[in-house]
Structure 1
């Protein structure tokens, strides 16, 4: 599909998480984040080649690692951080911890008006959990950030 200027139109963007154990990862995201599996395709050995999960208004895909797509745990971690805006950062973090995640940064009030922290799921993916606790302007956030570093 194209727009009036004949440039391609972006129709969807989602993260595709490569994991070492697809079925276990789907169960983790279901338990920890309330994900709903909306489709799954497997190879003849039962490995997930594509599973689409709905998390609130967002979707992510999960697939088992293979020769072409390594999982973060085989690479020493992931440089990508999934950011989740939630209504209760403490409750979401606690659910993730109960399901097997680990704390990278504990949930705490942040200078930019969020309560949040960072967790690692059992498959090497990083998740930043954030809850708005204070409505700030961009200028106020920048001033607080400047103050933090001076």
Structure 2
């Protein structure tokens, strides 16, 4: 597929709608070393358009209108050091949803909820793992437990239940 986005933009871009886009841009700058590109206020004082570059991606944002539903975003960010980035996010006001752990497929990461209700998967690639090895690892106790906790903590965070629901992965025949 031909790259049709303008220079410096990816083909798919996340939009975040929040009650305080200015504060969101400040959070992303502090937590993930974002580089703010645009903050466009509109006549009523809200932010009608904001952009911030995080790594190779531009995240777009704008303020929610009072009669729109709250719509939290779910975002994954690859960083050089997931532990350090999670600590930065917490220092900037995020709450840990899922403690950091190592995955069967070679990532280390966890989840935080930013002060605006968005959930960020904060992830580092720590090793290259082929698909067959990943599937084998998923049945090993430490990786199976990590997957269970990841599913349950996300479900609890999104559903509001005190204990979330999980289900082990099932490999289909190729």
Q: TM-score, normalized by length of structure 2? A: 0.71
**Runs (5+) with no aligned partner, structure 1:** 4-8, 73-77
3-state SS of the aligned residue for 2:31?
Answer: helix
The answer to which structure, 1 or 2, has the higher relative contact order (CA under 8 A, 6+ apart) is: 1
Give the C-alpha shift of residue 40 in structure 1.
2.1
Does residue 43 in structure 1 map to residue 36 in structure 2?
Answer: no
| TM-score, L = length of structure 1 | 0.81
Superposed CA offset, 1:10-61 (max 9, x none): 5331111011111111111111111111122221122111101111111101
Alignment of 1:1-150 (within 5 A): 11=5, 12-67=11-66, 69-72=68-71, 78=72, 80-147=73-140, 148=144, 149=168
Which stretches in structure 2 are left out of the alignment for 5+ residues? 6-10, 145-167, 170-174
SS in 1 for 2:12: coil
Deviations 1:83-136 (A, max 9, x none): 111110001000000000001101122222211101111111111011122221
Which structure has the highest strand share of the two?
1
Q: 1:10 to 1:68 in 2, by over 3 A?
A: farther
Tell me by how many angstroms 1:67 deviates: 4.7
Tell whether the 8 Å contact from 2:22 to 2:39 is kept in structure 1 after alignment. no
1:52/1:58 CA distance change after superposition, 3 Å = same
Secondary structure of 1:45's counterpart equals coil
Whole-Å separation in 2 of the counterparts to 1:68 and 1:56: 33
